[in-house]
Structure 1
């Protein structure tokens, strides 16, 4: 679901749209057909393409090795139209989830670009080496200060230009497009000073009276647009906004964590199942109980769960809408991206009666801005604390990201799988998260490979 992976598919859309998009979208809607098309987009690599990519790091790779990795599920694959097709990032993922292969790739990449030697951060393929000292400084300041609880560190003011572009000839002239762009939340304590600079369609700014912001109660914060398609021209929706983000650190003393009020509305909501993604299956309950056996303190329980989930390597994700239950998927394939790892952590915690809630949007580290998901956990006496599961334990801050977060975040979402405001008529391209935006027309949803999104970060402070 990451930015660079989606961009490639917009090029395919331009070539295919005129002959394929309109006829397909004019059929009566069927989720089964929609899902099969989404899977075909995700599983688009042939065996030859996968082998050729691997050969870039293992020149003498054999067909037998490809067979073994395929059979073991290390090269994620699926039958599409009767053929074995591979997830479009199956080959790169192989080098992320198999330690020996990861070492081969890391060595080769560093030989090509020595600056990468200091640019590896757990949970991500590459954080620009120049950024790590900035994060380390903020983390160290927070850990050593002991000031306040929470300690708010190093506010950063940033300006973001975010856009969604539907290529020319994707739909017939006059077709009505509906577009939702993600917009910063204003109910997050460490995210302040949200200010819209301008927004519009193509190259025309719209007056604020013509803009429609999502209801503040909506868990997916957005700015909504409508436009009609012009013949031979792309349609671009854009917004420019500023906000201030601060780091946060909660030095929790486990002995001062109080018992939960299990009758409170919030406790019941945030310890409940939320099908289809948060489900207390027998396997989930068994793992949660095993990890916390003999532990009665909820903070220490959550810490044990965090450390266990941290063992799952980060890997590029299939589209979430194609996975019926993400935590179970992570347990099956033994890897996951930031949102997948987060949902596993949340589910295991909730199964143990520890409240958790989703947060997501962007990580905006200079040189490595991208989509990102994390969450919060609640401990009585301390309140909600940030938990960034995919960053895990770091060499410069230990378990800082269990209870802390750096300033390079942009929050769009306070939960997952909610309705947009105004509501979409057709199922969203992303049925769980909301980071890239959404587009539909009167005939159906426009899936991710039929449009492009982009964002630029300007660091003001």
Structure 2
């Protein structure tokens, strides 16, 4: 499995001009490829301690070391634990040959770390989400996906309200209040050290997210970014106290309103290919949006009969929804190219398939961009990602490929509502991915693509997700 570690090693190789620096870096790469994480970490420590490398190279090396820790956290299950989960939750005992077959097909995700085979922390439930033959062996229903209960979908979409724009329909508004809390573990940093946090905050959108208001904060001093940033955040600082967790929270309210576009009413108007919008949102954005031979060949085969931008969207959306089931995902910071990962592993969570869809559309000359935040359905509150597609003469149309998967629901036009629509139970935070923060973050992010949980750092380095926790509490006013 390729990871972001490989890319960083290549950057280091390109940046190490002195021949004596190349061999140790190549050795690190070799050890990582062989799964020898402990040895690779020792080599990183040796290079950094030697003081013979530049600041940028040192930071890249430290992130490589940090990434080894991230991968080990994700792949923390033994074979015995996988078998035990299946026995307890799926009521049968898999044979060794079955385990081997599932590994070979990549339905059961694993890798060798320091000589031991380790499985992804959610490998066992994912197996029954993505492998039909595994499901047939169990009398128990497969684990849930990220799609909310049908009753919530029906309630959200039954009463569309016509708008002035042709083909566009507005859904009833949902008013929500939120308390978002981020708690850094006790003694995660020494007493008196300053903790810096960026908390997610709702964006202002004239159509879908309005009446955004900050109500209260845990710290009297804060910095609220504006909507020019890809990630809308609220920044605060607080000194750590020995033996006590450090708590940050914000209260805010907002109004969310879903919308749906009838694609049959959207005329196939040619794009203005000279516009900044077209150039920006049909471009590659590496490492996760790239027009590789794999992407080109698959997209061309899927869209061979599509002539208009709407038909291209329909073809790509239907293919992804039918062929890549939802599965709990590795941390994005450990994946070198997310769309390629989805294709290779034949599964993906909401953000992974959204990036695949965006990449396919951009390659075909259809402007597409990332959006994300939270799904806020009562009883189904969670992180969530989706996309928007631009049609000339219509504007930006929301597309939630992840909600398009799963069984049919008794609404019109069924799950394909999400091909050109979004419900009112959303908290919209990000208008792009892998963007900058305000104020700028000094150290590498815990989440290098998305921003929903927050970010934390102190004087020495970034604090990863295992050093803090988060909680979203919502109340609904209608």
TM-score of the superposition, structure 2-length normalised?
Answer: 0.83
Q: 1:153 corresponds to which residue?
A: 171
Q: Show structure 2 runs of 5+ residues with no match.
A: 1-44, 50-57
How far 1:51 moved relative to its partner?
A: 1.0
Runs of 4+ in 1 over 6 A off after TM superposition: none
How far 1:395 moved relative to its partner?
A: 2.3
Alpha-carbon distance in 1 for matches of 2:451, 2:226: 15
Alpha-carbon distance in 2 for matches of 1:67, 1:61: 10
Q: 2:4 corresponds to which residue?
A: none
Structure 1 pair 442–104 and aligned structure 2 pair: CA distance change class (3 A): same
- Which one of 469, 475, 478 corresponds to residue 452 of structure 1? 469
Please say if residues 254 and 300 of structure 1, whose CA atoms lie closer than 8 Å, have aligned partners that are also in contact: no
Alpha-carbon distance in 2 for matches of 1:71, 1:138: 41
- How many pairs were matched up? 413
| CA displacement 1:384-411 (0-9 Å, x = unmatched) | 0000000115423321001111100000
Structure 1 pair 188–320 and aligned structure 2 pair: CA distance change class (3 A): farther
Q: 1:226 corresponds to which residue?
A: 237
Q: CA RMSD in A?
A: 1.9
| CA displacement 1:300-321 (0-9 Å, x = unmatched) | 1111100001021000000000
Alpha-carbon distance in 2 for matches of 1:247, 1:237: 30
Structure 1 pair 345–161 and aligned structure 2 pair: CA distance change class (3 A): same
| CA displacement 1:144-199 (0-9 Å, x = unmatched) | x6554322111010011101101111111011111000000013521000111111
- Which one of 427, 446, 449 corresponds to residue 429 of structure 1? 446
Instruction: State whether structure 2 residue 375 is matched by structure 1 residue 363.
Output: yes
Structure 1 pair 244–429 and aligned structure 2 pair: CA distance change class (3 A): same
Instruction: State whether structure 2 residue 65 is matched by structure 1 residue 54.
Output: no
Alpha-carbon distance in 1 for matches of 2:78, 2:373: 32
How far 1:333 moved relative to its partner?
A: 0.3
Instruction: State whether structure 2 residue 58 is matched by structure 1 residue 40.
Output: no
Q: 2:41 corresponds to which residue?
A: none
Please say if residues 156 and 246 of structure 1, whose CA atoms lie closer than 8 Å, have aligned partners that are also in contact: yes
Q: 2:313 corresponds to which residue?
A: 302
Alignment of 1:24-423 (within 5 A): 29=59, 30-56=62-88, 57-102=90-135, 107-109=139-141, 123-124=145-146, 127-128=148-149, 132-142=150-160, 147-149=163-165, 150-187=168-205, 189-201=207-219, 206=220, 210-253=221-264, 256-311=267-322, 312-392=324-404, 394-397=408-411, 398=414, 399-423=416-440
How far 1:72 moved relative to its partner?
A: 2.4
| CA displacement 1:228-272 (0-9 Å, x = unmatched) | 111111101100111000110111236613100011000000000
What is the DSSP-based 3-state SS (H/G/I as helix, E as strand, rest coil) of the residue aligned with 1:108?
coil
| CA displacement 1:269-301 (0-9 Å, x = unmatched) | 000000000000011111111111132111111
Please say if residues 354 and 385 of structure 2, whose CA atoms lie closer than 8 Å, have aligned partners that are also in contact: yes
Alpha-carbon distance in 1 for matches of 2:461, 2:356: 32
How far 1:71 moved relative to its partner?
A: 2.6
What is the DSSP-based 3-state SS (H/G/I as helix, E as strand, rest coil) of the residue aligned with 2:158?
helix
Alpha-carbon distance in 1 for matches of 2:112, 2:233: 36
Please say if residues 254 and 299 of structure 1, whose CA atoms lie closer than 8 Å, have aligned partners that are also in contact: no
Please say if residues 266 and 394 of structure 2, whose CA atoms lie closer than 8 Å, have aligned partners that are also in contact: no
Alpha-carbon distance in 2 for matches of 1:366, 1:216: 27
Please say if residues 152 and 190 of structure 1, whose CA atoms lie closer than 8 Å, have aligned partners that are also in contact: no
Q: Show structure 1 runs of 5+ residues with no match.
A: 1-23, 111-115
Please say if residues 159 and 172 of structure 2, whose CA atoms lie closer than 8 Å, have aligned partners that are also in contact: no
Using CA pairs under 8 Å that are at least 6 residues apart, name the structure with larger relative contact order, 1 or 2.
1
TM-score of the superposition, structure 1-length normalised?
Answer: 0.86
